[in-house]
């Protein structure tokens, strides 16, 4: 995924009210950027750290800047939660996950039951649903999800299980927007209910694809699938 316009560099002053971040740009001006990430952002927020912002082409938008990434321990961490769906769609379209087929059809935000899944795809008469999550939480060398309690995330797992029972192929795609981790697992200490539901989902046939990506001011590039450890607490 390439950024369509050059990003703007600055330093983080503070993040507050979940959706706002004050940033000092290189020219000394202070701006307030939209933070799309509603989670705790534990392990990926540090005041005075370098950040990059994108600028909306919409002149009527209240906050023209969107916070895209932050530099933590020398590495960029992508925090824009709008990007993973786009990244995942590109990965599926390019055949970037080797045990998935080449898809004839890929659609976004497709309704099933009383939910909407992020991606729907078809290949060889098989029908697939994918739910996509952004991962920034780091504990040791493990990327974990979620970074805050998520009843919505648990419902998505339950709905994937329903879809699987009705004959669909189903999977979670976790887009891990940092390179300083080597394994993926659920955040047992933060949301044990989600973690247990993930175990149940895997037992019911839900596939997991934790995709590590390289984040830079130019764009976001998939690197590899990380190994999974569901039990480590």
Residues 6+ apart with CB under 8 A from 188: 195, 232, 233
Triad 129, 131, 132: Cα angle to 5°: 140
**Residue 189, pLDDT score:** 95
Q: What is the pTM of this model?
A: 0.95
The mean predicted confidence, pLDDT, of the chain is 96
Question: Which residue ranges form the domains of the chain, and what is each CATH number?
Answer: 8-77 (2.40.50.580), 83-225 (3.40.1350.60)
Model confidence over 25-54: pLDDT tens digits? 999 999 999 999 999 999 999 999 999 999
Confidence of residue 59 (pLDDT cuts 50, 70, 90): confident
pLDDT > 70? residue 145? yes
* CA 52 – CA 173 distance, rounded (Å): 25
Query: Average of pLDDT values for 190-219?
Result: 97
Q: Is 104 exposed, middle or buried (0-12, 13-18, 19+ CB in 10 A)?
A: exposed
pLDDT > 80? residue 232? no
The share of the chain scoring above pLDDT 70, in percent, equals: 99
**Residue 114, pLDDT score:** 85
pLDDT > 90? residue 222? yes
Query: Average of pLDDT values for 76-99?
Result: 96
Residue with tokens 């933590």: 72
The share of the chain scoring above pLDDT 90, in percent, equals: 94
**Residue 156, pLDDT score:** 95
Model confidence over 156-201: pLDDT tens digits? 999 999 999 999 999 999 999 999 999 999 999 999 999 999 999 9
Model confidence over 89-123: pLDDT tens digits? 999 999 999 999 989 899 999 999 888 999 999 99
Within 10 Å of residue 42's Cβ, how many Cβ atoms? 15
**Residue 233, pLDDT score:** 67
């Amino acid at each position: 995924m390439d950024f369509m316009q050059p990003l703007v560099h600055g330093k983080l002053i503070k993040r507050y009210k979940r959706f706002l971040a004050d940033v000092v740009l290189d020219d000394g001006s202070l701006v307030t950027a939209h933070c799309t990430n509603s989670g705790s952002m534990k392990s990926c927020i540090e005041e005075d750290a370098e950040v990059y912002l994108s600028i909306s082409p919409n002149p009527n938008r209240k906050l023209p800047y969107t916070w895209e990434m932050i530099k933590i321990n020398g590495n960029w961490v992508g925090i824009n939660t709008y990007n993973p769906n786009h990244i995942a769609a590109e990965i599926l379209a390019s055949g970037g996950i080797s045990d998935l087929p080449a898809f004839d059809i890929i659609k976004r935000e497709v309704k099933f039951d009383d939910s909407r899944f992020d991606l729907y795809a078809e290949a060889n008469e098989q029908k697939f649903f994918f739910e996509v999550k952004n991962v920034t939480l780091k504990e040791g060398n493990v990327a974990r999800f979620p970074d805050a309690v998520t009843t919505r995330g648990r419902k998505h797992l339950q709905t994937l299980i329903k879809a699987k029972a009705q004959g669909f192929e189903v999977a979670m795609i976790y887009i891990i927007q940092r390179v300083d981790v080597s394994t993926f697992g659920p955040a047992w200490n933060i949301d044990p209910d989600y973690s247990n539901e993930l175990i149940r989902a895997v037992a019911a046939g839900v596939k997991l694809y934790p995709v590590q990506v390289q984040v830079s001011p130019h764009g976001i590039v998939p690197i590899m699938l990380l190994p999974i450890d569901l039990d480590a607490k």
